[in-house]
Structures are given as structure tokens and as C-alpha cells.
Amino acid sequence: MIAVSADEVHAVLRGREREIASRILSAYGAHGRGHSSLPPSSFLRFPGRERERIIALPARLGGEFDLVGIKWIASFPDNPKRGLERASAVMVMNSTETGLPQILLEASGSRAMRTGAFAALAAGTLAGSRQDASVGVIGCGRIAYECLRFLCAEPLQTGRIRLFDEEPANAERLAKVLQSQTGVRNVTVERDRARVLDCPICVLATTAVRPHIDSANSFAPGATVLHVSLRDITPAALLEMENVVDDVEHVCREGTSVHLAEALKGDRSFIRGELCDILEGRLCPRSSPEARVVFSPFGLGVLDLAIAGMVAESIEAAGIGTRLDGFSGEPWHARP
């Protein structure tokens, strides 16, 4: 087996945003055509600590990929106060022939990139080719950074970027990183959340565990809302918007806003469809130019596999990874 560190994963994926986005698009297509297996994610929670969790996401991605594995990701929102990343993750990739574990890679970085990639893909699909559309961001951590980085790398041209965080220092830091690492200059830090929510494209990337946006009118008419953190919009407000998800069965659970909206309405008829339906032309992006469209992605393990596959393909050529010889050991009957 080969172990791949966070720095090695970053080095392999750096500068390949367009390729990552293309992989995500292909993975969505394979999943939409039924070439995948995606059991429900398992949530490990801690009594009295509702903001902290560790999630197991097993997946198989077939079609052109032929990949299988599981991601184990922890979210501890107080970690930044300790000088640590909020999320940490590992992914184990297994042989589809023998089932033996082949690659162990640090997966929090690739997970953030896949989130940024599908957010940009959804924005380009749902918002269309709106030139110079301003982007508002609520919650200014690593996920917000990757969403903005991929949005700026896509043909969808963004205008001014407006940032808001309950901790203003987080927004200030994100603004500085964007300006220094991406060359983006049109970034402002807002103290009024309403100015951010009113942007044509809005990214919600908080660590909220309870909904805090209680009106669809908080968003501009015709807005595209990337509800990446899943628990920001009240169910009543969500029912007033047009809803697109990545996978209906997966997103309607674990107290997401979509899950709460289902409980309030009594069914899932408020969900227009899945992103795959729009990408493959089975559904139009929105019913009218004025419709407020919200994309709520649960975050599918097959997408993590697609990006991990890029790393796996690059290991030998890039000379990365630490080989763990004898990891699986000899057969029991051959041992002395």
C-alpha cells in the first residue's frame, strides 16, 4: 500500500482546476447513469457536542473510473482556535479486483477542492453565463476559499466578491489570501450580512447546525444560492425557492435544511430535481429568470473518489507517496 500526505496531494492537484472540474462533471454523469454505488453516509456524533462529527462515506464509481474506497472525515469547528484545520480526512482506495487496500491518502484538501469544483459547476449551470455577477460568501474558511478559487477559474466571470463572517478576522484573512494567491482584487469585507445575501450568486459555507436565514426574500430575485453547508436556510424559506440537489436520497437526512423542509411539507415534491438532470438536459436550470434557485449538495463520495483517482494516477510519475511493504501481511497459512 502507498500512503500519500497532504503536501503531496496538494502538489499533484495544484494548477489542475479545469481538469478537476472536468472529472467532477464526468463523475456526476456516471452517477446519474447508475454507474455507481453509494450507501448512506454514517455519522459518528459526540454527546453534548452537536457541532462535532466524523463521517464515513463509502463509494464505488464505475463507468470510465472503476474506483472503490471510503472517506473518513472529521469536522471539529473549534480546531482553528487550536491552530488546526477544521476538517481532517483520510481516504482508503481498494483494488476492485482483490479488495486489498492500495492507497491511503490525506483527503481534506482534495475534499475541499471537489467542493469548490462542484460549486462552480453548479453556479455555471444554474446561473448561466452572467457576466460580472457579484458573488457573496457567508462563512470564510477553507471551503469558501476553494469555491471562490474554482469560480474564478471557470468561464463564468465573477464581479465583485463580498465576504461576511461572524468573526470578521476570518473574512479579512480570506480576502488577503484571495488577493495574494489568485490575483483577485475586487474583494470587500462586509459588516452587513444583507449586502452579501443580496448578490446574484451566493455561497453559504458556514458551520451552522441550525438554520438562520428565515426568508427567501433575503436573496435577490434570480439569485443562485450554493447552499454548501446545508443547514443555513429555514425549511419555510427553502420551500419558497426552487430546489436542486446532488442526490435526493442522501440530502434528505441528518437534519439538513432540505430534510427539515421535507418534514414540514410532508413530501419531496418541492425538489425540482438533481444537478445531473440539468447537466444532461432532462431539466431546465430554472423556471424563470426571477426564480431564486438553491443548490443543496450533500457531497457525494463518488466525487471524492474521482479526485482521489487523479492522485492515484499521478503517484508513480510524480514520485510521491510512501510505500508500506507487507501492509496486508502474508496469508495466515504461510506464516511461521
User: pLDDT in tens for each of the 336 residues of the chain?
Assistant: 999 999 999 999 988 999 999 999 999 999 989 999 999 999 999 999 989 999 999 999 998 999 999 999 999 999 988 999 899 999 999 999 999 999 999 999 999 999 999 999 999 899 865 556 789 999 999 999 999 999 887 655 567 899 999 999 999 999 999 988 877 778 999 999 999 999 999 999 999 989 999 999 999 999 999 999 999 999 999 999 999 999 999 999 989 999 999 999 999 999 999 999 999 889 999 999 999 999 999 989 999 999 999 999 998 888 899 999 888 877 878 877
pLDDT of residue 154: 64
C-alpha cell at 288: 424563470
First to last CA, the chain: 23
What lies within 8 Å, CB to CB, of 195 at 6+ separation is 136, 162, 164
Q: What is the per-residue pLDDT for 127? A: 85
The pLDDT score that the predictor gives to residue 121 is 92
CATH architecture of 2-110+301-334: 2-Layer Sandwich (3.30)
User: Which amino acid, residue 329?
Assistant: G
- In DSSP notation, 210-251 reads S--B--GGGSPTT-EEE-TTS-SB-HHHHTTSEEEES-HHHH
Tally of CB atoms within 10 A around 137: 30
CATH number at 127-296: 3.40.50.720
pLDDT, position 131: 53
CB 133 within 8 A of CB 123: no
One-letter amino acid at 237 equals: A
| Strand-pair partners of 163 | 137, 189
Query: Domain locations in the chain?
Result: 2-110+301-334, 127-296
